[in-house]
Amino acid sequence: MPLLKKKVFEKQSIPDFLRDDEEVFYCEITNEIFRDYEEFSERMFLCNSMVWTCSMTGKSNLTYQEALESEENAKQSLKEFPIELRIPILFLASKTQRSSFGDMAEDVFMYAKD
């Protein structure tokens, strides 16, 4: 789930007691239903704003849709990562003494590339 202000985005729950003839507004991006047009338009504006972060890669300044796509791509990359290398790479990562994730990843890459 994409992050908004470094927190997991909580979708609005489905309104209670919807009538068959009631007019509602559907947000396709988030699969949410709104009774009020103002709330719907605010959600659409928020989803199309570049304020989202991918929860898996940390990429920021994305729209909601871009953050979702980034997460799907990251999940696919993890599935394609060779199982034989997972434990050795995690071991190397645990032994580095770096404070930032980027520095740690670079150390592991430089060691493992040979």
Three-state SS string over the chain comes to: CCEECCEECCCCCCCCCCCCCCCCEEECCCCEEECCHHHHHHHHHHHHCCCEECCCCCCCCECHHHHHHHHHHHHHHHHHCCHHHHHHHHHHHHHCCCCCHHHHHHHHHHHHCC
Q: Are residues 55 and 105 in the same domain?
A: no
Beta carbons of 71 and 53 less than 8 angstroms apart = no
How far is the CA of 101 from the CAs of 5, 7, 25, 36, 104, in angstroms?
19, 19, 41, 42, 5
- Taking the complete model, does pTM exceed 0.85, yes or no? no
Summary mean pLDDT of the chain: 90
What was the pLDDT predicted at 86? 86
What was the pLDDT predicted at 109? 85
Q: Are residues 12 and 49 in the same domain?
A: yes
Q: What is the dihedral of CA 100, 101, 106, 111, to 10 degrees?
A: 100
Q: Are residues 31 and 3 in the same domain?
A: yes
Which tens digit of pLDDT belongs to each residue from 12-43?
Answer: 888 888 888 899 999 999 999 999 999 999 99
Q: Are residues 64 and 9 in the same domain?
A: yes
Percent of the chain surpassing pLDDT 70:
99
How many domains in the chain? 2
* Structural domain that includes position 100: 81-114
Q: Are residues 102 and 64 in the same domain?
A: no
